[in-house]
Structures are given as structure tokens and as C-alpha cells.
Amino acid sequence: MTQDEPSYCGISTLVMVLNALEVDPGRVWKSPWRFYHESMLDCCVPLDDIKKTGITLSQFACLAECNKLYTEVKYANSKSEFLNILRENVKQCMAIDDTILVVSYNRQVLGQTGAGHFSPLGAYHEESDQILIMDVARFKYPPHWVPLTILRDAMLSIDTTTGKPRGYLILKLRSHVQQLALLRLQGDISAYKTLFAPRLKEWEQFLAEEALSNQELEFETVCAVFTAIFMGYIVFHDFSEAYQIMQAEGKCHNNCSDMQLMKQANSCGHICRKILSLDTASYITSTGVCVLLLAWPLQETSSERVRILKRRLENDLSKLDEKSLEKIMTIRHQIEQISNTCKNDIVES
């Protein structure tokens, strides 16, 4: 494939990976094909922003995690240990079918036009210590071989957006993947600059205020304020109702689609029960808002209000099973990326 836009190298690379791993996007691209397309990757960064500036390594990881992939991010450094680990990771990824290695590097170090770029790796030639870059900008460069040491040097280039070096990601399909995200932020996040940013600022100002002396009243107040600010920013996909309707109408069959819906309904019910059993759920009636608060990334701060809230939420999170906690952490990663983008826009304006 080739990228649709000059700055789409990151999401085009992810699309290539998702389709290669046969991940079901949960929706039809063009009937009857269910393939990923760049336009579907809108959960962490607005596509309009990606079209202008591309994405960073952490944003790539966020998008990958939101679309059912396990991710491991490695930032480059000049030590020989990093090069040795990179070489071993390349060998391992080339030897198995369910894991793909994606690199983020500076084209100029390779003597190419352009700057920061993402592409997946397709092969490794051990004798010459070269890797095959499957360039997603096919209109510029076909797949080409590059010495691993030169690629490492290209990764050392600093990304001006983050102030960090570039690097690589190891991507793998999760072992207990579900076909659709049961929990996620609103899909239309392109409106976040006008809607989400002021709410984020309001919430942070509230957290900076002095906490109430009565801790129960304090937590009740925090939950009420959070609900008032962020109601409607979380989507909880409840598949159980759809499955029950199909059962009642006698439309359920033993095909893949119906089996998938049944699994989704069971999984949704399981997570709902887990969330509703937590202490936080007794203060917030909306399951979606409760999930959003549990997922909220609270930074270390001198605020007593934040410290009290963090203790309460961590106590609840410790009661969740691995699958439910994984969903919460995926949303936390989304919030971090969107919040950082909002803050950057406020600084620039």
C-alpha cells in the first residue's frame, strides 16, 4: 500500500500492520471488504492534525493499542547495547508471523528526501546485517535494503515535537483480542479543541483547589463535578441488548458474525458487572463516566485533592481482573494523548 497524504506515514504503516495481522476493524471499508483504512484511525489524534504534522511514537502506540495490538516502544540511544537489542528484536520478529517491527527514523540520514518517517520492516539479511524497509510512501521509494547500523543512526534523530529520539515499536495481536472496543472515547474527537480543552482546564482547576476535610463528602463532590464536566465523553458499547433482540426474533445462527456478537455481549456484561461492583460506581450512576474517572491519568502533585482521589481510584483498580484493567488502561492512554494535544494547542495560541 501507499500513504494517502504526505504526513500519513504513521497511520499508513499502522494500517499495513493491522491488515497484515488480519485484525477485524469491526466495520466495512468498501462492501464487502472489512479492511482497515487511514480514515478509521481517529481515536487518539484528529486526522486533520495528523494531516498537518503526522504522529509521534507515543501517539502511534496509542492508536495501535486502541485497535487491539500489544505494543512495546523502544527509544533509540547511541549505546552498543541498544543496537544489539534492536538486532535481536529484528531477528525475532522476522522469524514469526504474528509480530511486526515498525521503525521511526529520519530519512535524511539515509540520504533520502524528507525528514521523520514511519515504515514496517519486511526482512533481515544476517550476513550483510541489512534490513528491508517496506516504505509506505511508494510514490517516492520502493522497498529497499538499509544497513542496520545506518538505520540505528537515523533513529537517533530528535523528534522536535517530543524532544525525544526516534526509535521502533514491536507490535503483536493481543491473545484475548475482542472484535470491537467495548469502551472508548467519543469517535468524533476532531471537536476536542473547542469542547474538550475548556473542560479539561476546568477539571484541572478544580483538582488544584483545597480538599474538603470530610473525605467521604470530598469524594462525593469530586465524582459530582467530574460527571458534570465530562458526561457524554465516553462510549460504552453494550452488545448484550442487540444479541438479546436477535435471540428473541429467532435470528441467531451459528455463524461467525453471531458467535462474535455473543462473545461481545458476554464480555460487555462481564466488564459492566466488574465496574458496577466498585466503590466508585456507588457515587456515579453512569457506567461510562465511572470508567472515564477510573481511567483518568492523575499526575503526582502537591494537591491533597489529587492524592485523596488517586488513593481511592487505585484501590478500585486493584480489584479489576486483567481484561477489564486492560480496557481502562487503553482509555487512559487515549486521554493522555488528547490532553497533551489540547495543552500544546493552548500554549501555541
Residue with cell 512495546: 72
Cβ proximity of 6 and 140 under 8 Å: no
Task: Confirm whether 117 is a catalytic residue.
Answer: yes
Closest CA to 291 of 220, 236, 218: 236
Task: Confirm whether 135 is a catalytic residue.
Answer: yes
Cβ proximity of 227 and 289 under 8 Å: yes
Task: Confirm whether 270 is a catalytic residue.
Answer: no
Residues 6+ apart with CB under 8 A from 229: 199, 202, 203, 206
Among 43, 49, 66, 135, which one carries the catalytic annotation?
A: 135
CB atoms within 10 A of CB 240: 16
Among 117, 223, 268, 333, which one carries the catalytic annotation?
A: 117
> SS3 for 205-235, per residue?
HHHCCCCCCCHHHHHHHHHHHHHHHHCCCEE
Residues 6+ apart with CB under 8 A from 292: 226, 230, 233, 234, 331, 335
CB atoms within 10 A of CB 144: 14
**Is the bond preceding residue 32 a cis peptide, omega within 30 degrees?**
yes
Q: What is the enclosing helix (H) or strand (E) of 323?
A: helix 322-348
- Kindly state the cell numbers that stand for 22: 488480519
d(CA 57, CA 54): 10
d(CA 149, CA 155): 10
The catalytic residue positions are 9, 117, 135
